Amino acid sequence: MALNSLFLMAMMQGAPPPLTATEIVERMLRADTERLTALCGYTGMRRYRFENKRFNKRAEMVVRVACDRTGAKTFEVISESGSGFVRNRIIRKMIEAEREASQKGEREQTRITPANYDFRLVGMDVSDGRESYVLEINPKTRNKFLIRGRIWVDAEEFAITRIEGQPAENPSFWVRSVKVVHRYERAGRFWLPAMNESRAQARIFGVTDVAIEYYDYVISIRDVEARCGRAEEWSQ
């Protein structure tokens, strides 16, 4: 269904007028704050897959990630196979970049907030059976961790369920373009990463595909007395 057709249907059926981009972002940030307050942290597993067909390079790495209540992340490699160059020079650098971005000083500069982005409402869409607002996001700075593209915001829970676009800053002269897709899924009351996919077009290496699969979350949440400790397992 076309993005804007849901707007027209809502108007014809006498539904309340759609929210503005500002209202959607305000509700998204408010809901995000509520979820972060309830979240004490989590652990989970990831599977990184890398493939470059031109040079027949492949690699895979399974990693355990732990995220504490501040959002800071630590990583432990569980298993790895394939090209040593790819594992050491590409996947490990990706992991280190994410660890760096999760630290307190960097994290606020990479969040999807009005401080870092301009927003424009594009329309509505149905994603995995749920209605979503679709917003165009344009970074205010050329930060390598920011994305220029679109986000899908769940119309009921105001959580980001999908991100599509390209980095605000090209990672290298040798890379012509990078397209990324991030998908999130509901884990209990929280929305956590489910799959990240990227395709890079490089001047010499051609097309390179990287996929990150997320699974086996164990989520620590606050109890009624605001203490951390109770855990919920969530397998995807």
pLDDT tens-place string over residues 213-235: 999 999 998 765 556 766 666 66
Total H helices, total E strands in the chain:
5, 11
Number of domains in the chain: 1
Has residue 3 got a pLDDT over 60? Answer: no
Query: For the chain, what percent of residues have pLDDT higher than 70?
Result: 86
Task: Specify the higher pLDDT residue, 176 or 47.
Answer: 47
The enclosing domain of 216 has a CATH number of 2.50.20
Containing structural domain, residue 83: 5-10+18-234
Has residue 68 got a pLDDT over 70? Answer: yes
Tell me how far apart the alpha carbons of residues 150 and 119 are, in angstroms, rounded to a whole number: 9
Give the pair of three-digit tokens for residue 225: 């007395």
pLDDT band at 1 (very low <50, low <70, confident <90, very high): very low
Has residue 12 got a pLDDT over 60? Answer: no
Q: Tell me, what's the pLDDT at 95?
A: 96
Of 115, 125, 124, 178, nearest in space to 148 by CA: 178
pLDDT tens-place string over residues 181-225: 999 999 888 999 999 999 998 887 889 999 999 999 999 987 655
Tell me how far apart the alpha carbons of residues 80 and 87 are, in angstroms, rounded to a whole number: 8
Helical H runs in 52-185? 84-86, 92-102, 104-107
